[in-house]
Structure formats: structure tokens, C-alpha cells
Amino acid sequence: MLLTGQPVEPQLEFVYYPGCSLQGVNWEYDASFRAVCHELGISLIELDGWTCCGGSSAHSIDPVLASRLARENLALAGKSGKVLVAPCPACYQNLRRGQGALPAANEKPQRAKHGVPPPRKLADSQAGQARSSRPGNSQPCLAHQGVEPTAKEAAGVGGECFAAPTTLVFHVNEFFHQPPVWNRLRQAIRRPLVGLKPVAYYGCLVSRVGATPGSREVEDPTHLEKLLELAGASVCPWAYKTDCCGGSLGLTRPAIVNDLVAQLVDEAIKAGANCLVTDCPLCFANLDGRQLDVLRKDRELRLLPVFYISEVLALALGLRGVATWLSRHCVDPFPLLESLGFSREDLGKQTESWQV
């Protein structure tokens, strides 16, 4: 008999695919996501030996190579039998694309007339595992023609096509919306973010991966808004939530991206927001890093702090050490947070306020 009377919670374990950008420029996303999961008692096991998903370059030059890179990682994850979490939408897109067979030519997609396709659930992973373990056929798929299998793969570890293409892959939004995770999150909110008025910015990829064109979820996803409302913020509606930030063109055509960033920030301010919240590292890099460049040309623009969804959740959970992440942002978020009543002690801020 349990003395506390609390039900024993199931242990939650996920395989974690951080991706290259979360280990480099966007390490705050990685650190804050890990911290939030740690606080909620969810263990993230980093996928051992993961490799780059190919970013936007692999599918730009060679769709078959992109599929190979994705399946290599799916094969690694498939061995564990757990659900894979990929916070970066580009990784998520590539992994999900690698799961499907290469799309059949001349196949007209079904358009959703009514309602939304059912969300994918944790329970699906068991079904997926069962499917992936069926005896394979000897013909390699298109993505693996010309690639010799390793000894283990040849021995059948990893499923019919070296990979276990049915490994369930979650993005951060889907991950937090799984009922066991959601319930823990709801109970753990200690510091509702009253006064935070964000716009939710999904970027272009998340809502379109595996989407049914014409369904409401494609043009008007609401995952982030629900998470932000759970954190106590009052979300501002806007029409630019799935617009593109320019992605990797930030490096090759900065002028186009600066233009898009200026438009997004402008529209967010018109919507009455005091910050932008995103779940995409590339959107963050463009929005946060380039606002100052835009400002240099366009003096009218007001700076708007940008947060990762995991940072907002960490603030709402009352985690300490948030400042170590926030002080890396190019647009200073501290004045906004201080106006919401966060003291320096709350945030664990050590350094003095800095100037651009």
C-alpha cells in the first residue's frame, strides 16, 4: 500500500535526436528542453551515434541521399523500440520523409474535406514496432540501392530495409501534447506567465510534414498556443504563424531573409504581441539574430524578444538558471521579463545587463 496515496506514474523514456543546430548555435533550445524534461521526470536518451539528417541541402541536391541519411538514423532509433523526439523541424521533416517510401509518381493526394486527421499517439509506437518486425523482402528499397549493409543490418537487425521506418517520430509540439507529458506539465506549472503576450510562430515546416493539404491543421495549427496558454500567457492571434522565415537563405541571400524577418516582427507588433515564441532553431536564428541587422536599415522597427517554447515552459516551471540561456539571445529579453515581475534572483542572472 502506498503511504502517499499517489498513483505510481509510468516511466517515460524517449530517444532524443538533438540535431546539429541544437549542438551549435541553438544550444539554448537543447539545454532548456532537457531541463524541462528533467523537471517533469521524463528521461531523454540521446540517440547513440546519430548523424546529420541532411538539413535542407540533402533533399535540395539529391532526394535519395536525403532518404538514406534519415533512414540511417531511424535504423539506430528502431533498435531501442522507443519513440524518437526531434526538436528541430528540419530534422523532423527529414526523418518523417525518410519513413515514407519515396512518394509514388502521379498520385493525386487526398484532400481533407472535413475535420482533422487523428493525432498520432504514444500507443501507436507499439503497433509500429509490430509492423516493422515483419519478415522483410530481399529487395532493397530505392533509398538503399547501392549501399552495402553493415554486418548487423545484413543479419536482419533493424528491419526489412536496414531501417525500421515505422519508428514513431515526434516533434516538440506533439511530444508535449501526449497525455502523460501534458498532465505532468499541467501539474508542474508554478509561475504562470501573466502579462506575457506572445505570438506563436511555427515556421513553415512543422505543420506541413505529413500533412493533408486542405486540413485546418496545415494553415492554422494550435499546438503552440495551447502550450503557451497552459503556461499562463495570453496569446495574440495572427495570420503569419506558418509563414516562412527564409530558412537557410539567411546565409546565401541575407537581403531576402531580412525582408521576411522585418515583415514577421512588424506583423507580430501589429497583433499586439510583446514577444515571439517559436519551436524551430532556424526560425529563431533568423528572427533573433537578424532583427538588429534589420533595425540598422529600418529605424522604425521595434525589437521584439524571441523565445523557444522550451524556454517559456522553463520560466513557467520556475526553473533556475534560465538566464544562462536567455543571455545568449541577440535581442535582450530581460527588460520584458523584469516587467513581468521576474527578479534577477528568479532567473539566476549573474552578469550585468549588456548592451548591443
The stretch among 19-27, 117-125, 170-178, 341-349 that binds another protein (CB under 8 A) is 19-27
d(CA 181, CA 216): 24
> Hey, which residues does 278 pair with through a beta bridge?
201, 308
Nearest by Cα to 201 from 304, 315, 341: 304
The stretch among 8-16, 34-42, 177-185, 238-246 that binds another protein (CB under 8 A) is 238-246
d(CA 180, CA 304): 33
Which of 139, 150, 339, 350 is close enough to bind another protein by CB under 8 A? 150
Asked if 130 is part of the footprint of another protein (rule: CB under 8 A), the reply reads no
Q: How many CA atoms lie within 13 A of 227 on its CB side?
A: 32
Helix (H) or strand (E) holding 13: strand 12-16
In whole angstroms, how close is the CB of 54 to another protein at the nearest point? 7
Nearest by Cα to 102 from 76, 64, 70: 64
Backbone angles phi, psi at 147, to 5 degrees: -110, 125
In whole angstroms, how close is the CB of 161 to another protein at the nearest point? 13
Q: How many residues make contact with another protein (CB under 8 A)?
A: 70
d(CA 6, CA 12): 17
Q: Are 279 and 322 in contact (CB under 8 A)?
A: no
Contact track, another protein, 265-284, x by CB under 8 A: --------------------
By C-beta, is 115 or 179 nearer to another protein?
115
The stretch among 97-105, 115-123, 231-239, 309-317 that binds another protein (CB under 8 A) is 97-105
- Residues in touch with another protein (CB under 8 A): 20-21, 23-25, 27, 49-52, 54-65, 68-69, 72, 102-106, 108-109, 111, 145-148, 150, 204-205, 208, 211, 213-214, 218-219, 242-244, 246-249, 251-256, 259-260, 289-290, 292-293, 327-330, 356
